[in-house]
Amino acid sequence: MRLSFTKMHGSGNDFVLIDNRDQRVHLAPSQITKICDRHYGVGADGLLLMESPQNGGDLRMRYYNGNGQEAEMCGNGARCFTRYAQRILKSKQRAFSFETPAGLIRGALLGESVEVQMSEPSNYCPPAFLQIAGVTEEVHFLSIGVPHAAVFVEAVEKVDVNLHGKEIRLHEAFAPLGTNVNFIQIVATDHLRIRTYERGVEAETLACGTGAAACALLYHMHRSVLSPIWVTVQGGDTLRVSFESSPNLRNVCVCGPASFVFDGEIEIF
């Protein structure tokens, strides 16, 4: 089977996007893993399928991590999906809604940036003190379409993200599905720097949109800092996270770049 695809990235978090509105593409997890492999495939953190809507959206977005498993939502992927939708549909439309397992997501093109309205935050837990590699860590947690744990640190560059991220990701406190893991450095009152270990990729990625949103919201709850909060990711871009905080956290949006890399074809067996 020969597949046409588009490669994109959002702040260094990269994806293979495939137009599957005709429902001809049915990929096994092993095939998705092969496509995302950086040595034997296209190379990506994840894969996005564009499908026809089923429940009132403009489109349906299905996201698969590099391990081939479907996930509920991906923030950087949603920004790329928004720009991809405009291109594939040959539309002058500047905003789209698309269905995901995490609910209806809305994306809007704002010049060179894309703003995505995220899933409503849920499952917030007060900070827990967990034993991680023999050290007690204060770990914060909430879900924003997907689960995110976070640890505040003095300097993110000193953190072994792949080692400590994996330990938290697999901690029994987050069983059975595990969690994404973020390390947060406070740069200024309204500015964070983060590094993220992504569940499903099973490694650090250059950016995580849901992670940026989760970290900003947890910081708001931790320090009462108001919207917007700027979040610099490991790839170097700074994302803007905005939200309403009264009476409850809602209308969470992440704004940042989404870039085309190349179009191509790949043979899949």
Active-site residue set? 74, 208
Q: What is the rounded CA–CA span in Å between residue 238 and residue 257?
A: 9
Task: Write the DSSP string, 128-142.
Answer: EEEEETTEEEEEEEE
Instruction: Say what angle helices 209-223 and 75-88 make with each other, to 10 degrees.
Output: 130
**Residue tagged 């500047």 (tokens):** 94
**Torsion over CA of 150, 79, 118 and 143, rounded to 10 degrees?**
-30
Q: What is the rounded CA–CA span in Å between residue 246 and residue 262?
A: 42
Enter the DSSP assignment of 171.
Answer: -
Q: What is the rounded CA–CA span in Å between residue 210 and residue 192?
A: 14
Least Cα distance to 69 among 150, 171, 146, 5 occurs for: 146
